[in-house]
Amino acid sequence: MINTNLTIARCADEPLPITHGRLMDFPDDPIACLRRLHAEHGNVCAMEEQGQRIYFVFGPEFNHQVLSDMNTFHSQFFAIRGSRNSSQRRLTSGLLSMNGEQHKRNRRMVMDAFMKKAILNYVPSIKIEVESMLADWVPGTERDINRDMTDFMLRLTSSILFGIDQPEVAYKIGHMIDEWVHLNHELGMGAFVADPTIAGRYGDLLAYAGKLEAEILDMIRLRKENSGGTDALSILINAHDSEGSISDEELVGSAALMFAAAHLTTAHSLSWTLFLLAQHPTEMNKFHREISTHLTGGFPSLEQTEKLTFVERTIKESMRVLPASSYSQRVTATPVELGPFKLAPGAGIVFSQFMTHHMPGIYTDPDVFQPDRWLHTNPSPYEYLPFGAGPRMCIGAPLAMLILKTTLPTILQRFKVSVVPNSEVSSKVISTMLGPTTSVMMRIEKQDGRFESQPVRGNIHDLVDLREIPVLRRAA
């Protein structure tokens, strides 16, 4: 259902909706900036500093325009591409930097590694990694769940993408890709603004890219020597179409992007879901009842996960309220009209999953975590888009869902998690991803099915209404 009232009608002589200000306000606090722009201007506007502009669009109609037309709206994910023959250029050349025919072809090939049949091969890795994480959990202790989920996903993503026969080598590459993504974020904001104050550190980034590329090329050689692997890289190496197979240069970009796209997005989704459940005892109770009914204490089989309908609703709702990918960007490739603006090629546009998911015209009480809303809510793909929408929609969505649907029940069958009272939980969007920027301290107990929320501090209260529904109803 698309709400047709969302676009603002504008007279020809009305001034254009433009905010003049620091463009760096956006990466400094993306959600605050998006909220301010939306409140001031409605569903389309621009922010301008010294003649440089970023355009912002909000809501399903503009999401549809920007996400469905790949010829007009190109993807350009990394700000710093490096020179033509550099490691940095090759590492930043994965799917999210490709457009047109090259994107279509590579996407088809990369998809092979994430189809239902292929992702079943990754189930043993998920089981090994979750068991190994939980082996360290001791009832009666406090743990930083954010750190646990980030480490767990670093190991799991490394083994899924690069294989389990050499876990430490795979883990080392994973770790390096994380460092490299972090450096990219520090040195350039998305694809739009390069901060001149840190220009001197480009050399560090380019040198690090050289080392990382050498490691990935070693791994590619290793995988080629030991053919028959079921990891994503081996599947990609063996993929071919009428034009042949993927070149080593393309493999380098694909490996880096797949890792970067999979690791923190899934880790954040795991952390947020555990946090939201812990702070909503009624929902945690429903979750626990369902897993106790259908599971027998161990890692769930695929048949068992299919019966976990409340678990599914919980994950969907968690990714609505706190979407790990909270905004993304496009660059115009041809002239186009965007609301009242006439854009020339090269214009940068931001759209936001977070803002769409919190629109009261689409979701009642949008800031409230309410998994059962999914019993009667059926949004269009441009109203609910945690994995993006249209022809560039996330190819890892089925894998991410598999990880979430097996890992969360495995944890919560064995352990009760509750937030450490009065701890701080804060968050910020870094490199398009909304994740905790503080520890998420939780007390771990043996699961006893008795749940209680706790007072927390931090800016998490700006993002989600942590009062439970019965409390809200009483207040109304």
DSSP structure class, residue 200:
G
Residue 183 or 261 with smaller CB distance to ligand HEM: 261
Is residue 265 near ligand HEM by the rule CB under 6 A? yes
Q: Among 416, 353, 413, 418, which residue's Cα sits nearest to residue 387?
A: 353
Tell which positions 316-345 bind ligand HEM, by CB under 6 A: 324-325, 328
User: Can you tell me the distance from the alpha carbon of 231 to that of 160, in angstroms, rounded to the nearest whole number?
Assistant: 5
Looking at residue 346, its amino acid is: G
Is residue 395 near ligand HEM by the rule CB under 6 A? yes
Alpha helices in 295-396 (DSSP H): 302-306, 309-321, 353-357
Q: Which single residue brings its beta carbon nearest to ligand HEM?
A: 396
For residue 21, CA distances in Å to 46, 198, 326, 354, 360 come to 10, 21, 22, 22, 28
Is residue 349 near ligand HEM by the rule CB under 6 A? no
Question: Total residues at the site for ligand HEM (CB under 6 A)?
Answer: 23
CB neighbourhood size of 453 (10 A): 18
Is residue 386 near ligand HEM by the rule CB under 6 A? yes
Residue 471 beta carbon to ligand HEM: minimum distance, rounded to whole angstroms: 29
Residue 473 beta carbon to ligand HEM: minimum distance, rounded to whole angstroms: 31
* Among residues 34, 47, 66, 96, the one that binds ligand HEM under rule CB under 6 A: 96
Is residue 261 near ligand HEM by the rule CB under 6 A? yes
For residue 27, CA distances in Å to 53, 158, 186, 319 come to 14, 28, 10, 21
Is residue 258 near ligand HEM by the rule CB under 6 A? yes
Exposed/middle/buried for 318, CB within 10 Å: 0-12, 13-18, 19+? buried
Residue 404 beta carbon to ligand HEM: minimum distance, rounded to whole angstroms: 7
Residue 177 or 400 with smaller CB distance to ligand HEM: 400
Residue 150: CA atoms inside 13 Å, Cβ hemisphere, count?
Answer: 16
Is residue 348 near ligand HEM by the rule CB under 6 A? no
What's the chain's length in residues?
476
Is residue 396 near ligand HEM by the rule CB under 6 A? yes
Residue 145 or 444 with smaller CB distance to ligand HEM: 145
Tell which positions 46-75 bind ligand HEM, by CB under 6 A: 75
Residue 34 beta carbon to ligand HEM: minimum distance, rounded to whole angstroms: 15
Residue 102 or 301 with smaller CB distance to ligand HEM: 102
CB neighbourhood size of 13 (10 A): 5
C-alpha dihedral over 282, 285, 291, 297, to 10 degrees? 150
Residue 114 or 451 with smaller CB distance to ligand HEM: 114
Residue 130 or 324 with smaller CB distance to ligand HEM: 324
Residue 272 or 451 with smaller CB distance to ligand HEM: 272
DSSP structure class, residue 336:
E
Are 103 and 95 in contact, with CB atoms under 8 Å apart? yes
Binding marks (x or -) toward ligand HEM, 192..231, rule CB under 6 A? ----------------------------------------
- Mark 56-89 as b/e (b = at least 16 C-beta within 10 Å): bbbbbbbbbbbbeebebbbbbbbbbbbeeeebbb
Is residue 394 near ligand HEM by the rule CB under 6 A? yes
Kind plus residue range of the DSSP H or E element containing 130: helix 123-134
* Among residues 269, 314, 332, 377, the one that binds ligand HEM under rule CB under 6 A: 269
CB neighbourhood size of 42 (10 A): 16
Residue 382 beta carbon to ligand HEM: minimum distance, rounded to whole angstroms: 12
Binding marks (x or -) toward ligand HEM, 104..143, rule CB under 6 A? ---x------------------------------------
Q: Report DSSP letters for 350-369, one per residue.
A: EE-HHHHHT-TTTSSSTTB-
Q: What is the CA radius of gyration of the chain?
A: 22
Residue 155 beta carbon to ligand HEM: minimum distance, rounded to whole angstroms: 14
Token pair in block for residue 134: 């939980």
Residue 18 or 331 with smaller CB distance to ligand HEM: 331
Binding marks (x or -) toward ligand HEM, 12..41, rule CB under 6 A? ------------------------------
User: Can you tell me the distance from the alpha carbon of 284 to that of 17, in angstroms, rounded to the nearest whole number?
Assistant: 44
Binding residues for ligand HEM (CB under 6 A): 75, 95-96, 107, 257-258, 261-262, 265-266, 269, 324-325, 328, 386-388, 392, 394-396, 399-400
